[in-house]
Amino acid sequence: MITDDTLREGLQTPGIAFTIDEKIKIAKIVRDAGIKRAMISYPPAHVSEVEVTRKIVSENIFSEPFALGRATREDIDRIDETGANISLHLPFKLENLPDVIDAIKYASKKGKVLEVAVVDVMKNDIREVIKIAKLVSQAGADIVQLPDTTGSGTPRKIRNLFTEAKKSLDCEIEAHCHNDMGGATANAFAAIEGGADHLDTTIYGIGERNGITDTASIHSLLESEGITTGIDVNALKRAYDLILKFLLDKIGKDFFILNFPVIGSNISTNTAGTHVAYSGVFTGTNMSLNVYAGKSMIKRVLEGYNMQANEEVVKKVLQEVKDLSSQTGKCVTSDQIIKMVGEFNGKSN
Ligand SMILES: [Zn+2]
């Protein structure tokens, strides 16, 4: 029932970047804790994400490995090549539904398990969410994920949504609850009460902004209600030790203050390029740059310094940001970006 999302959602934690070796280390230690289903990566973002997925899949670390991308043929092919099962997310603004449905049909013919996320379910009326979820399921999705992308759900709203989804859909359903208001664990539990088959969690609850449902917390709640997760808590503790080491080495102990729900500054920090590109949905102004960065993030950094660069230079800088962070396991700073722009501008003169 638990899907570990530390390797993908966890890589969106403000201040975090992982090398390929670090991701493989995390994968093995999470698997040793008894978790069999995992979201490994976002292959369309960078070649390192393709490589790490291939390795994790070929070493059979998880019995159900997934990789994420947008609902486009290009992203679907990229994921398919890694050998992982396919997980897709719909655009934040659903302007072209027929194209999206066409892409889901295309993905369903790849012979993999297909999961599709209807993003940001709390922004829409339940009936509207269920209507889209039905179309997605009918197009061939085996699992429909109903994520509270902005962490604005409450246990009552999430339970109602999942109860309704369970009644109306023929496929499996999955919860993915963000923690902006501190409700990620309670909301995940409510989703299970409503009938969720799968649940995304991460070690220390790390993820985009201030993260999602914490694995140990939800495990303990579920077990106390007689719902087995298959997790070995002593082995899970070793995964927490490893992630703690990464958090302290890469960010420092302030992480736990910055990451606190409601008041911590991480709730206004974006790591996902796809989120910053849709600035109407996510209002955060801080940015953390790693392999998941996007062109709009580079442009925002430059705007902050009253600088401009042409599309070609922005593209080159973005590539350099992704290469560097995946090689070093560190986020790229604004100072490094300014230096890169200077170098690329110098070369083009
Ligand atoms: Zn998320």
pLDDT by position in tens, the chain (length 349): 999 999 999 999 999 999 999 999 999 999 999 999 999 999 999 999 999 999 999 999 999 999 999 999 999 999 999 999 999 999 877 778 999 999 999 999 999 999 999 988 888 899 999 999 999 999 999 999 999 999 999 999 999 999 999 999 999 999 999 999 999 999 999 999 999 999 999 999 999 999 999 999 999 999 999 999 999 999 999 999 999 999 999 999 999 999 999 999 999 998 877 666 655 555 566 889 999 999 989 998 888 888 888 999 999 999 999 999 999 999 999 899 999 998 888 775 5
Ligand 1 midpoint to CA 147 (Å): 7
Q: What is the pLDDT of residue 280?
A: 55
> What is the Cα–Cα distance from 174 to 43, expressed in whole angstroms?
21
Ligand 1 midpoint to CA 36 (Å): 19
Radius of gyration of the chain (CA): 19
Contact 150, 118 (CB under 8 A): no
Residue type, 274: T
Ligand 1 midpoint to CA 223 (Å): 24
CATH topology of domain 2-255: TIM Barrel (3.20.20)
Q: Is 323 helix (H, G, I), strand (E, B) or coil?
A: helix
Ligand 1 midpoint to CA 177 (Å): 7
Q: What is the pLDDT of residue 92?
A: 72
Those residues whose C-beta lies under 8 Å from the C-beta of residue 48, and which sit 6 or more positions away, are 20, 291, 322, 326, 327
Type and span of the H or E element at 89: strand 85-89
Ligand 1 midpoint to CA 312 (Å): 30
Contact 113, 145 (CB under 8 A): no
Q: What is the pLDDT of residue 274?
A: 67
Ligand 1 midpoint to CA 180 (Å): 11
Ligand 1 midpoint to CA 348 (Å): 38
Measure the CA angle with vertex 238, ends 234 and 241; round to 5°: 130
Q: In this structure, what DSSP letter does residue 333 have?
A: P
Ligand 1 midpoint to CA 176 (Å): 7
- For tokens 């023929």, name the residue: 170
Ligand 1 midpoint to CA 306 (Å): 31
Closest CA to 188 of 226, 145, 232: 145
Ligand 1 midpoint to CA 335 (Å): 28
Ligand 1 midpoint to CA 196 (Å): 17
* CB under 8 A, 24+ apart: contacts of 314-320: 316/340, 316/344, 317/341, 317/344, 318/293, 318/294
> What is the Cα–Cα distance from 132 to 71, expressed in whole angstroms?
14
Ligand 1 midpoint to CA 200 (Å): 9
Ligand 1 midpoint to CA 111 (Å): 26
Ligand 1 midpoint to CA 211 (Å): 7
Residue 249: CB atoms within 10 Å: 10
Ligand 1 midpoint to CA 90 (Å): 13
> Percentages helix, strand, coil for the chain, rounded to the nearest 5?
50, 15, 35
Tokens of 90: 């719909």
Ligand 1 midpoint to CA 68 (Å): 11
* Domain-wise residue ranges, the chain: 2-255, 266-348
Those residues whose C-beta lies under 8 Å from the C-beta of residue 82, and which sit 6 or more positions away, are 41, 43, 50, 53, 54, 57, 67
Ligand 1 midpoint to CA 11 (Å): 10
Ligand 1 midpoint to CA 149 (Å): 6
Those residues whose C-beta lies under 8 Å from the C-beta of residue 342, and which sit 6 or more positions away, are none
Ligand 1 midpoint to CA 183 (Å): 14
Residue 203: CB atoms within 10 Å: 27
Residue type, 334: S
Ligand 1 midpoint to CA 138 (Å): 24
Ligand 1 midpoint to CA 10 (Å): 9
Contact 53, 68 (CB under 8 A): no
Ligand 1 midpoint to CA 152 (Å): 12
Give ion ligand 1 contacts, CB < 5 A: 9
Q: What is the pLDDT of residue 40?
A: 98
Contact 329, 16 (CB under 8 A): no
